Structure 1
Amino acid sequence: MPVSGRHQRRALDSDGIPVITTTGLTKVYRSRGREVTALDGVDLHVREGEVYGVVGQSGAGKSTLIRCVNLLERPTSGTVTVAGQDLTALAGRGQRANAALRQARSRIGMVFQHFNLLSSRTVQANVELPLEILGVSGKERGRKALELLDLVGLADKAKAYPTQLSGGQKQRVGIARALAGDPKVLLSDESTSALDPETTRSILTLLRDLNRQLGLTVLLITHEMEVVKTICDSAALMKGGRVVESGTVSELLATPGSELAAELFPVGGEPSGPGRTVVDVTFHGEAATQPVISQLSRTYNIDISILGAAMDTVAGKQVGRMRIELPGRFEENVVPIGFLREQGLQVDVADVRTAHDTASADAILKDGAQ
């Protein structure tokens, strides 16, 4: 159901207004005379109305980053700006949140991995909790909680207790609670990692629907590439406390050598023998529906082996990657590879072993295109 006072989500463009910005964000933990750097100069820009995914392995710094965005963790240095407010300036020197920071946090919803529901409270009372803290009257709290439970599909569970709910239902309660303060920003900390695949899909669909219906900006962290593939407009890859790659999903898929693109659409396959050229081809947009490989085979009268392929829908667009093998060495295939690039495809030569060889291959292809 629509929520009053909200608007439909605007279409995104590359010049969208940043709603979440971190600049030079650093977090150093000190324990027993040792220092551990969890965040190392992180710059992040999340545009208004988008779903932005931060992905990486355990220990990459993802959870620390998202907790620094709402200052549940105080950064060691750097700044965090959310909806035009510098939260690091509001925080002051003490460890306890002051009134100004608490007010700013009320406009940032947070969804946790393990739900964090109070077992002694009903579902409705759990959703009402942040409204109690904000001093909202009992009647208004009840009305708003029921409205939010309806929004997440749990209108009939208001009087139930958390122990009576499935994992997916508990997470829906957590999402409803996160929306109680009418936030502009929703933070999701591994919110689907404790759920089975079918429930995960339903929660991701709900998050995307809320993003569109309420105009929410969603920042989520995950170690699951399927989450990024399913709902994210943009993404960042973290390693060792740093953002090593970021951009819109479409940009990343079109970037040569993108680690995120390779993770989103992993394709494997080894050459069938020596003297062969292995090429990774990324299809997106209209090119994804064109018979480009068969055209290449007919045009140059060559036999092409498909070593691996993956096709899916990302951000509403069909995208795919394919690993193919061409007969002959790379130098003999400059023209066929150039043909693929002329069709609007992203082409990476997969069997080039070193950075020097990769640069040489790119130079040859550019010369061949001129």
Structure 2
Amino acid sequence: MHSTVTETPVITTTGLTKVYQSRGRDITALDGVDLHVREGEVFGVIGRSGAGKSSLIRCVNLLERPTSGSVVVDGTDLTALAGRGNRAGRELRRARSRIGMVFQHFNLLSSRSVQDNIELPLEILGVSGAERSRRALELLDLVGLADRAKAYPGQLSGGQKQRVGIARALAGNPKVLLSDEATSALDPETTRSILQLLRDLNRQLGLTVLLITHEMDVVKTVCDSAALMKQGRIVESGTVGELLATPGSELARELFPVTGDASGPERTVVDVTFHGDAATQPVISQLSRTYNIDISILGAAMDTVGGKQIGRMRIELPGRYEDNVVPVGFLREQGLQVDVVDEDLPAEVPAQSNGAHGAALVKETVK
């Protein structure tokens, strides 16, 4: 089965709030969060530490009880099943079994073998021993660890432990997989392999994946859609393509950071976003030749997102903006997103190094 993104939301939160009590004070971790994750997509929630990401993902499967608001997963209102007590009732436990969860620090039982760790949720659900064993071995093969069934967590690398964690999360044949900073404890190469595994599982099993992260590379590598969280609120969300095409998008700016200041007075600095066919066209040199102007490239960031080349470039044009209305119009006619940089705004996020595809800062003149 191949995953295809539909318009049907499989995870919906409405007005979700979570308030914690700490030393007699109320601390609001979630402040009216509305989230819509479509069936079959990989959706990333990104934000800094303390933004509310972990509270959000733990409220989606009701490991944390929301203070108010609702959570609907695959048509079931989990908040309605929660009841008033602290212990989850039978119906909530059954609904939760259709939601897999992958943790940052693996959460494997050191005294159990790899196979026994994967069988644990099935054991809790009352599945027979023979069926548990068959399912565990099938999942180990799926995550590339068929030869490690009898090993113990202490004998595995971090990446292998996370693969076991993913296999365990899939034991109940979930429709939704939640990933709580699943790669933040791993080195870059292992992170890439785990992200590729999540993307493969999304496509092969038709899984909907909701992941939280503080790493922009994770969003670039695997996400169809993303949301930016700040102080318990979602301040931006949409498909990655939509965000890149949104003027002034903070997420787009952080995904593809470019820097550079005007070289002098009466210069126009613009950020140009390339995606689709435009990413491979020599648009800047065409602009220079067509209008016989010198264009300085102050910075550029290029990467591959969802198999497509996407990039942003900061360029400087001679003269004030009023003098450059026609050249800017030319760029927009080529299907490019063009944002004029207001020099009174704070400095942009510094460029990040992202390996071979990373942000390349250059300064050159095109004639």
Q: Secondary structure at the match of 2:110?
A: coil
- Paired with 1:319 and 1:32, the residues of 2 have a C-alpha distance of 48
Say which of 221, 245, 252 aligns to 1:261. 252
Say which of 2, 6, 31 aligns to 1:8. 2
| Regions of 4+ moved over 4 Å | none
Deviations 1:216-261 (A, max 9, x none): 0000000000000000000000000000000000000000000000
- Paired with 1:47 and 1:133, the residues of 2 have a C-alpha distance of 30
Q: Secondary structure at the match of 1:250?
A: helix
- Paired with 1:241 and 1:272, the residues of 2 have a C-alpha distance of 39
Provide structure 2 residue ranges, at least 5 long, that are not aligned to the other structure.
347-367
What amino acid does structure 1 have at the position aligned with 2:250?
E
Q: Secondary structure at the match of 1:102?
A: helix
Q: Is the 8 A contact 1:277 1:351 kept in 2?
A: no
Deviations 1:188-242 (A, max 9, x none): 0000000000000000000000000000000000000000000000000000000
Who is 2:289 aligned against? 298
Tell me by how many angstroms 1:329 deviates.
Answer: 1.0
Q: Secondary structure at the match of 2:246?
A: coil
Q: Is the 8 A contact 1:283 1:319 kept in 2?
A: yes
- Paired with 2:345 and 2:225, the residues of 1 have a C-alpha distance of 29
Who is 2:358 aligned against? none
Tell me by how many angstroms 1:352 deviates.
Answer: 4.8
- Paired with 1:351 and 1:217, the residues of 2 have a C-alpha distance of 39
Identity %: 84
1:352/1:269 Cα in 2 relative to 1: closer, same or farther (>3 Å)?
Answer: closer
1:354/1:264 Cα in 2 relative to 1: closer, same or farther (>3 Å)?
Answer: closer
What amino acid does structure 1 have at the position aligned with 2:106?
F
Q: Is the 8 A contact 1:256 1:346 kept in 2?
A: yes
What amino acid does structure 2 have at the position aligned with 1:88?
T
Say which of 8, 12, 25 aligns to 1:17. 8
Who is 1:74 aligned against? 65
- Alignment RMSD: 1.0
Q: Secondary structure at the match of 1:26?
A: strand
Structural mapping, 1:42-57, within 5 Å: 42-57=33-48
Who is 2:224 aligned against? 233
What amino acid does structure 2 have at the position aligned with 1:140?
E
Say which of 101, 118, 126 aligns to 1:110. 101
Farther-moved stretch of structure 1 (174-183 vs 322-331)? 322-331
1:124 aligns with 2:115: yes
Who is 2:271 aligned against? 280
Who is 1:150 aligned against? 141
Q: Is the 8 A contact 1:277 1:329 kept in 2?
A: yes
TM-score (norm 1): 0.92
1:38 aligns with 2:29: yes
1:334 aligns with 2:325: yes
1:251 aligns with 2:242: yes
Structural mapping, 1:194-209, within 5 Å: 194-209=185-200
Q: Secondary structure at the match of 1:195?
A: coil
Q: Is the 8 A contact 1:127 1:176 kept in 2?
A: yes
Aligned length: 346
Provide structure 1 residue ranges, at least 5 long, that are not aligned to the other structure.
1-6, 356-370
Q: Is the 8 A contact 1:27 1:75 kept in 2?
A: yes
- Paired with 2:179 and 2:187, the residues of 1 have a C-alpha distance of 17
Who is 2:56 aligned against? 65
TM-score (norm 2): 0.93
